[in-house]
Amino acid sequence: MNAIATGTGGLPSLKGRVETEAALGALTWFRVGGPAEFLVKPQDAGDLAQFLGALPEDVIVTVIGAASNLIVRDGGIRGVVIRLARGFSKIEVEAEGIVCGAAALDATVAEHAAAAGLGGLEFLSGIPGSIGGAVAMNAGAYGSDVKTCLDWVEIVTRQGEERRLLAEDLHLSYRHSQLPPGAVVTRARLRAQPAEASLIAARMAEIRESRTKTQPVRARTGGSTFANPPGQKAWELIDAAGCRGLVRGAAQVSELHCNFLLNNGGATAADLEGLGEEVRRRVAAATGVTLEWEIKRIGQPSGRPEVVA
């Protein structure tokens, strides 16, 4: 049992908000998952730093952003769940870049850059989620990723220290960054270059059209489920294994893009995760390739873990 399991009296003081047994499902794009023991929404980076610095080391801390690529398991999350909100969403346009809070949505940052005549960030318009998560996983799409444009990132460590790291300090690679363990991204600067407004607008329109035609953008989904293996595409492997349209409970592999899982209404986190594991099993059996999850799965199962056939 962690040091705060008996109630909010054990939490350090906070200027922001604290909720106990807070529902998380409605915050995720899949709309599934159990509650957070404590959901903490700090006011700003200083508030977060003070809170983490005073929080006992044995308390488990989980950070969620826009929860666009996240499955929260049905048993919920013990300990403290931190969600950055309004105080971390500011976007500032500079001469050749954008400084943005971790809670700013990727698409919103792309729109601000476009309005300022800055190019190079159009790819963000095709990535669901927020900047903090984009940095943490080196998010990418449409021929670019965060590594190509990140100058620096500001973090708060698990010990409550506020730090600024250069992009090279993160050793960014495919869907991965080497942030210090337990660190929370609070702000980042992205490079951009002056460009013709018409060209920026055309590229963003192209990305929007491509997403609409090839991805289930209006469904309850979490984006790409599995990372692309080196030199291969996950969706092609899934299709080759006969998994397009596969169903488990109220969860389904998308017919439109089979690297997307769908909640068709009433799915549980166990339905979705179990379906994903079944896809991995079938792909491995058919192709010899073991797919790695790109969607994060956090929290505890409800009752006994589901057995995958």
Per-residue pLDDT of 254-271, as tens digits, reads 999 999 999 999 999 999
pLDDT band for 6, please (50, 70, 90 cuts): very low
DSSP string, 90-109: -EEEETTEEEEETTSBHHHH
Rounded to two decimals, the pTM is 0.90
How far is 149 from 57, CA to CA, in rounded Å?
34
| Fold for the domain defined by 8-86 | 3.30.43
Is 90 exceeded by the pLDDT of residue 303? no
* CATH architecture, domain defined by 88-213: 2-Layer Sandwich (3.30)
Mean pLDDT value across residues 288-306 = 87
Residue 307 confidence (pLDDT): 43
> Which residues are identified as catalytic?
175, 224, 294
CATH code for residues 220-298: 3.90.78.10
Structure tokens at 200: 């920026």
- The pLDDT score that the predictor gives to residue 138 is 95
Give the model's confidence band at 231: pLDDT under 50 very low, under 70 low, under 90 confident, else very high: very high
Question: Could you give the count of Cα atoms lying within 13 Å of 41 in the half-sphere of its Cβ?
Answer: 12
Q: Where are the domains of the chain?
A: 8-86, 88-213, 220-298
Q: What is the pLDDT of residues 51-90, one digit of tens each?
A: 999 999 999 999 999 999 999 999 999 999 999 998 999 9
What is the pLDDT at residue 8? Answer: 53
pLDDT in tens, 165-210: 999 999 999 989 999 999 999 999 999 999 999 999 999 999 999 9
